[in-house]
Amino acid sequence: MKAGHDHDAREHHGRGMRPLRALVSLDEAMSALMALAVPIARTEVVALPEALHRVAAKDSVSSIHVPLVDRAAMDGYAVRAADTYRAGKFRPAPLRKIATLYANSIPRKRVSKGTCIEVATGASVPPGADAVVMVEDTEREGETVRVYAPVHPGENVSPQGEDIRKGDVVVRAGEFLTPAKVGALAAIGKKDVEVYARPRVAILTTGDEVIPPGKPIRPGQVYDINAHTMASVVRESGGEPVMLGRVPDRLDALEAAIRKAVAHDVVVFSGGSSVGEKDMIIDVLRGMGELKFHGVAVKPGKPTVLGVVRGKPVLGMPGYPTSCLSNCYMMLAPMLRAMARLPPKPEKVVEMPLSKRIVSSMGRVEFHTVRVEDGLAVPAYKESGAITSMAHADGYIQIPANVDLVERGETVRVVLF
């Protein structure tokens, strides 16, 4: 979190200030970001319990049938269907029970004419049997089982390979691993799976006034909010945050930090991209690589910068917590999801009336956080430095660049967090 670094929130004083030059639109900024979102090619093998929400890097082919053999789909009796054809409510078919099979039993006896074997759900269907009579349709006395309803061949039997055939591709490369897909991998005996590596995101914080949570604080200092909100967005978007800590406000320190950080897939930092005299990042990016844009026509979050150093995206977020987190949701998350090969995150949207009017700035997209109360969208935004503007909000509304006023009672689309 960088105090005094949101051009919208307060005026800047001092020497060496450089105003944000021509702002790019949000669409232009997103195009530049997504052009750099190269899907990660590295792969790794993870244990099956760790595979949820990863992306498969190769096809998984079954080496077995699932079920492995014909199985009983009900508790009851394995029979020859032909022995039950004349069975009825008033004239049961009598059969002789010759064995009992549980789910893990191996059949050792054959069902011949006039006999049956008791089976539990999941038990292997014994040789000679071609159907299972439900226990509810029988009556047993000693070793005699009376069958009161006929069954046809295959009834109440899960046949070998009904779910998966040997040689079937169970999960294809590039598929997002849901709980059901993890279950399918377990069904064919996979104990681990090859997945694409997560994009590694180096997270830097600028500002001599910023200190880590847990340390004693004095006037003039602030706790580092942004490193933690950025890391959380990275994790939520399929990335792996690498916390590199605070960088002193010196040109050489910033250059050294970025040189180290670009060993990772993406570099993200907060602060240092507005118009204060300590904002050296623009000079650093131009000196070390290429500056793509400096300033986006969006509120909150105008002072956002994108550069490329050694082929790696370097994204500078605003210092104020609300602006930083808002831009992480808008810009960083879609970029990382593309790099992680994840599907776009589905938006949950509700429509409801606005509780009070919002005046907007023409020429830039504005995002306003809202709470949902009594069926109304209630503006929750306080100011750029207030993290509770996001923490106590249920979602946000987007006001287009060509709109300058949204009236009370007007229906708005709330994108829920």
pLDDT at position 392 is 86
Q: How far apart are the first and last CA of the chain?
A: 22
Nearby residues of 17 by Cβ (< 8 Å), 6 or more positions away:
275, 276, 277
Q: Do 169 and 50 reside in the same domain of the chain?
A: yes
Residue 125 confidence (pLDDT): 97
Number of domains in the chain: 4
How far CA 135 is from CA of 79, 93, 145, in Å, comes to 12, 14, 10
> Tokens at residue 325, please?
């987190």
Q: Is residue 10 part of a domain?
A: no
CA 341 – CA 199 distance, rounded (Å): 10
**Cα 270 to Cα 278: distance, rounded to the nearest angstrom:** 13
In terms of domains, do 186 and 312 share one?
A: no
Q: What pLDDT score does 55 carry?
A: 98
Q: Are residues 47 and 179 in the same domain?
A: yes
> Which pLDDT belongs to residue 211?
85
Is residue 315 in some structural domain? yes
pLDDT value for 409: 93
Environment class of 101 (CB within 10 Å of its CB; exposed 0-12, middle 13-18, buried 19+): buried
User: Sheet of 240-247: strands edge to edge?
Assistant: 240-247, 200-206, 266-270, 312-317, 305-309, 290-294
Provide the residue type at 143 as one letter: E
CA angle 264, 306, 31 (to 5 degrees): 105
Q: State how far the Cα of 160 lies from the Cα of 327, in Å rounded to an integer.
A: 53
What is the predicted pLDDT for the residue at 20? 52
CB neighbourhood size of 94 (10 A): 13
Instruction: Tell me, yes or no, whether 400 lies in a domain.
Output: yes
Same domain membership, residue 207 and residue 329: yes
Is 1 within the bounds of a domain?
Answer: no
State how far the Cα of 29 lies from the Cα of 24, in Å rounded to an integer: 6
The answer to whether residues 265 and 237 belong to one domain is yes
163 exposed, middle or buried (CB, 10 Å; 0-12, 13-18, 19+)? middle
Residue range 63-85, pLDDT digits in tens: 999 999 999 999 999 999 999 99
What tokens does 230 get? 């950025």
Same structural domain for residues 228 and 316?
yes
Is 213 within the bounds of a domain? yes
* Domain end among 307, 339, 371: 339
Same domain, 49 and 172: yes
* Domain contains 78: yes
Phi first, then psi: what are they for 70, rounded to 5°? -60, 135
Asked if residue 354 and residue 319 are part of one domain, the reply reads no
The three-state secondary structure class of 135 is helix
Same domain, 116 and 223: no
For residue 400, the enclosing domain spans: 349-416
CATH label of the domain that carries residue 212: 3.40.980.10
User: What CATH code is carried by the domain that includes residue 119?
Assistant: 2.170.190.11
Question: Could you tell me if residue 7 is inside a domain?
Answer: no
- Tell whether 248 and 324 lie within a shared domain: yes
Judge if 201 and 309 occupy the same domain.
yes
Tell me the sheet residues that pair with 200: 240
Token pair listed for 286: 């131009």
User: pLDDT under 70 in the chain at which residues?
Assistant: 1-21, 272-279, 383-385
Residue 17: inside a domain: no
* Residue pLDDT, tens place only, 325-358: 989 999 999 999 999 999 888 889 999 999 999 9
Q: Quick one: CA torsion of 323, 257, 224, 218, rounded to 10 degrees?
A: -130
Contact 222, 263 (CB under 8 A): no
Are 312 and 259 within 8 A, CB to CB?
no
pLDDT number for residue 279: 62
In this structure, are 305 and 233 located in the same domain?
yes
Count Cβ atoms within 10 A of the Cβ of residue 35 and give its class: 0-12 exposed, 13-18 middle, 19 or more buried. Answer: exposed
DSSP assignment of 92-103, as one string? PEEEEEEEEE-T
The DSSP element (H or E) to which 235 belongs, if any, is: helix 226-236
Largest CA-CA distance found in the chain, in angstroms, rounded = 104
Q: In CATH, what number is assigned to the domain containing residue 400? A: 2.40.340.10
Whether 117 and 109 have beta carbons less than 8 Å apart is answered as yes
Strand partners, 358: 406
R_g over Cα of the chain: 32
